[in-house]
């Protein structure tokens, strides 16, 4: 058999795959037909290219499998039957996924399936009889389409360039969608970047550094230009979901100080004497939690009062800053943002501080160590305050001071702190489940003690200048830090959502409020609603812009949400439901021990997700 004969003998299989590619792409249109973000022509064009390139490519993934089956079985009808089963299930998955995405803003995964098949699922999903008829009709049409495609494929075996063209076209569309997204992402082009998660299993490429290094995109200049734009396309985001109204309020200065990796049990007179001193005059929350076990999502949860796993990508793609910052700017607060580590990685310059002109992105030092950057960062803050006093600036200020030495275990005097015995530097290669953490933990406490000294300088400066009487000072951490607390060989942060990694101190010095200690569960999500209502005079219900409540609301929480890079958790009284990006999940107690009962209440969690995602629905 010559080469052409071999090729022609498989024409029926290539026909079948091409027909399914066309059908998958047509069905994929359902993902954006009713999507409010498709009002821009460029968005529609990109989604069309991505639809053909992504969903149209899916049937091609089965080509090696079908070729192997054909070689082993050598019976066309059997191969087509197996292909029909595969493609039918794929189409059903896409259709159901589109329905789920339209309602809940995430795609099908194991967690969703378990909700559907959990006890009480009949209370979640109420279907009329006609809907079952529609479902039966759709499945029947899918099966009939596969039978029709099989017949057409076998009959149309004439040599044709159309099949080759179809395969090449799908590949071109696929590569084009990734290229378009990469360029759009580098250029902050929101109409395209905001729809990156519309399709299931679609992970578009980014190439910011490459395009910048090649001189094709100058991201610094583009960032400056975007910061000056007065309008943004919100797409499917309705945040806030109602116009914010303000009345006369104190409008105190606000200073938020975050220490990276600050554990909740490490705010003591011995470790942090300066913080402990101001805590005696403050509101102290002894059971406070970040919205994450990582920096990106922890800071996001504080400033947006929203879960990062649900909103980070959207806010970043839109350069949508939090309403807290925009409200401060509208009320003419002067901004003083001083972070030791760069604000471009994680890209807080494109999220939390996207609305601030001439944002200070990084701390420039001759010696690039975290404790030197912390020192420079603190000095620049003091200069900011001195300049205001010298120029007799009357308008209030918002300050953000983010110190990094604890995260880097970076010390000015390694090994010589008050807590001994201690390592002089973090030896990550020595970490294992049997290691005694004392020396490592003492290194951590020594660096934290040094950081507290810097905080003392900042706090004493405010007091000496008479600014404490007019400044709300919020002292906290972005997340915790674990030293194998749960005996599961977890060290550091970002590994789980246990207390060790999410519990952080919270001290709020508030002028004219009596000192008080609170033991109820409070969250980073609660900080902005408190400041918005009690200091800025926002009269809206917090549900218009946040998922948190007032810090001073001591009502009991049934659960709270935490989220990291590609996973998130639902923390209840006695267990943590850990869900990864693929939807696989596990249920553990609060000490990360897997529970025997791995069942979930589907009705409850559908409501949780609807509540968390309410800013994707028009109010």
pLDDT in tens, 50-64: 999 999 999 999 888
Task: Find out whether 36 and 235 touch, Cβ atoms under 8 Å.
Answer: yes
Segment among 95-104, 114-123, 262-271, 539-548 with least mean pLDDT: 114-123
Cβ neighbours around 210 below 10 Å, total: 12
More confident residue, 200 or 292: 292
Does residue 301 surpass a pLDDT of 70? Answer: yes
**Locate tokens 């099908």: which residue?**
108
DSSP secondary structure code for residue 83 in this structure = H
- Between the ranges 10-19, 334-343, 592-601, where is the mean pLDDT highest? 334-343
Segment among 107-121, 210-224, 387-401, 453-467 with least mean pLDDT: 107-121
Instruction: Please compute the mean of the pLDDT values over residues 572-577 and round it to a whole number.
Output: 92
Task: Find out whether 293 and 497 touch, Cβ atoms under 8 Å.
Answer: yes
pLDDT value of position 124: 42
Does residue 219 surpass a pLDDT of 60? Answer: no
Average of per-residue pLDDT values in the chain: 86
Q: Residue 383 and residue 387: Cα distance in Å, rounded? A: 6
Look up residue 168 and give its two tokens.
Answer: 């090449």
Q: ∠ CA 175-57-23 to the nearest 5 degrees?
A: 130
- Between the ranges 227-241, 327-341, 483-497, where is the mean pLDDT highest? 327-341
Q: Which residues is 586 bridged to in the sheet?
A: 578
Q: ∠ CA 313-256-385 to the nearest 5 degrees?
A: 125
pLDDT value of position 231: 29
Q: Which residues, at least 6 apart from 590, have a Cβ–Cβ distance to it below 8 Å?
A: 498, 499, 571, 574, 575, 576
Let me know if 432 is exposed, middle or buried by CB neighbors in 10 A (0-12, 13-18, 19+). exposed
More confident residue, 225 or 184: 184
The H or E element spanning position 64 is: helix 63-73
Look up residue 608 and give its two tokens.
Answer: 């949780």
Q: Residue 290 and residue 84: Cα distance in Å, rounded? A: 49
pLDDT value of position 186: 78
Cβ neighbours around 560 below 10 Å, total: 22
SS3 430: helix
> Can you spell out the DSSP letters for 198-213?
SSTT------HHHHHH
> How many residues in the chain?
619
Does residue 181 surpass a pLDDT of 50? Answer: yes
Q: Which residues, at least 6 apart from 408, have a Cβ–Cβ distance to it below 8 Å?
A: 369, 370, 371
Q: Which residues, at least 6 apart from 277, have a Cβ–Cβ distance to it below 8 Å?
A: none
Q: Residue 102 and residue 75: Cα distance in Å, rounded? A: 41
Split at pLDDT 50, 70, 90, the class of 6 is very low
What's 253-616's CATH class? alpha beta
pLDDT value of position 598: 81
pLDDT in tens, 63-96: 888 888 888 888 888 888 999 999 999 999 888 8
More confident residue, 543 or 228: 543
Q: Residue 586 and residue 378: Cα distance in Å, rounded? A: 42
Domain with CATH 3.40.720.10 in the chain: 253-616
Task: Find out whether 265 and 503 touch, Cβ atoms under 8 Å.
Answer: yes
Split at pLDDT 50, 70, 90, the class of 585 is confident
Does residue 40 surpass a pLDDT of 60? Answer: yes
Instruction: Please compute the mean of the pLDDT values over residues 4-23 and round it to a whole number.
Output: 75
C-alpha of 443 from chain center: 31
pLDDT value of position 39: 57
In terms of Cα–Cα distance, which of 306, 266, 300 is closest to 505? Answer: 266
C-alpha of 400 from chain center: 21
């Amino acid at each position: 058999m010559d080469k052409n004969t071999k090729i022609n003998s498989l024409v029926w299989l290539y026909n079948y795959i091409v027909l399914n590619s066309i059908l998958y792409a047509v069905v994929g249109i359902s993902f954006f037909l009713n999507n409010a973000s498709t009002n821009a022509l460029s968005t529609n064009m990109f989604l069309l290219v991505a639809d053909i390139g992504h969903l149209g490519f899916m049937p091609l993934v089965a080509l090696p499998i079908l070729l192997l089956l054909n070689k082993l079985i050598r019976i066309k009808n059997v191969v087509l039957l197996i292909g029909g089963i595969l493609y039918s299930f794929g189409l059903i998955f896409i259709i159901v996924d589109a329905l789920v995405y339209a309602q809940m803003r995430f795609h099908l995964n194991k967690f969703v399936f378990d909700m559907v098949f959990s006890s009480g699922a009949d209370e979640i999903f109420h279907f009329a009889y006609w809907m079952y008829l529609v479902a039966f009709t759709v499945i029947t049409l899918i099966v009939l389409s596969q039978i029709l495609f099989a017949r057409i494929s076998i009959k149309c075996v004439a040599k044709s360039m159309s099949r080759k063209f179809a395969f090449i076209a799908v590949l071109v569309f696929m590569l084009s969608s990734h290229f378009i997204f990469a360029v759009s992402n580098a250029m902050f082009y929101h109409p395209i970047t905001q729809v990156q998660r519309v399709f299931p299993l679609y992970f578009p490429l980014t190439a910011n550094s490459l395009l910048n290094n090649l001189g094709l995109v100058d991201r610094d200049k583009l960032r400056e230009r975007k910061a000056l734009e007065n309008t943004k396309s919100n797409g499917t985001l309705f945040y806030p979901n109602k116009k914010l109204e303000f009345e006369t309020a104190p409008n105190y200065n606000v200073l938020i100080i975050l220490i990276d990796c600050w554990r909740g049990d490490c705010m003591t007179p011995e470790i942090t004497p300066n913080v402990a001193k101001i805590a005696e005059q403050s509101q102290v929350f002894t059971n406070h939690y970040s919205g994450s076990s990582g920096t990106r999502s922890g800071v996001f949860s504080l400033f947006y009062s929203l879960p990062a796993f649900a909103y980070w990508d959207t806010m970043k793609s839109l350069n949508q800053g939090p309403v807290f910052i925009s409200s401060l700017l509208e009320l003419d607060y002067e901004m003083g943002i001083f972070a030791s580590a760069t604000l471009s990685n994680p890209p807080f310059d494109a999220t939390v501080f996207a609305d601030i002109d001439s944002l200070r992105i990084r701390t420039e030092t001759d010696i690039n160590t975290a404790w030197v950057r912390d020192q420079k960062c603190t000095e620049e803050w003091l200069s900011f305050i001195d300049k205001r006093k010298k120029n007799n600036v009357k308008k209030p200020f918002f300050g953000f001071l983010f110190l990094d030495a604890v995260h880097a275990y970076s010390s000015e005097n390694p090994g010589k702190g008050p807590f001994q015995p201690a390592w002089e530097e973090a030896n990550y290669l020595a970490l294992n489940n049997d290691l005694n953490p004392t020396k490592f933990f003492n290194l951590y406490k020594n660096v934290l003690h040094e950081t507290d000294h810097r905080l003392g300088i900042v706090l004493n400066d405010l007091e000496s200048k008479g600014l404490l009487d007019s400044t709300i000072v919020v002292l906290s951490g972005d997340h915790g830090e674990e030293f194998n607390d749960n005996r599961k060989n977890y060290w550091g942060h970002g590994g789980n959502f246990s207390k060790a990694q999410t519990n952080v101190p919270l001290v709020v010095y508030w002028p004219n409020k009596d000192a008080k200690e609170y033991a109820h569960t409070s969250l980073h999500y609660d900080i902005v609603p408190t400041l918005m209502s009690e200091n800025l005079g926002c009269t809206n219900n917090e549900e218009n812009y946040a998922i948190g409540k007032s810090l001073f609301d001591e009502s009991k929480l049934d659960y709270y949400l935490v989220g990291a890079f590609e996973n998130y958790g639902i923390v209840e009284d006695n267990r943590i439901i850990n869900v990864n990006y693929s939807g696989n999940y596990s249920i553990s107690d609060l000490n990360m021990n897997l529970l025997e009962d791995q069942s979930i209440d589907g009705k409850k969690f559908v409501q949780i997700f609807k509540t968390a995602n309410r800013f994707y629905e028009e109010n």
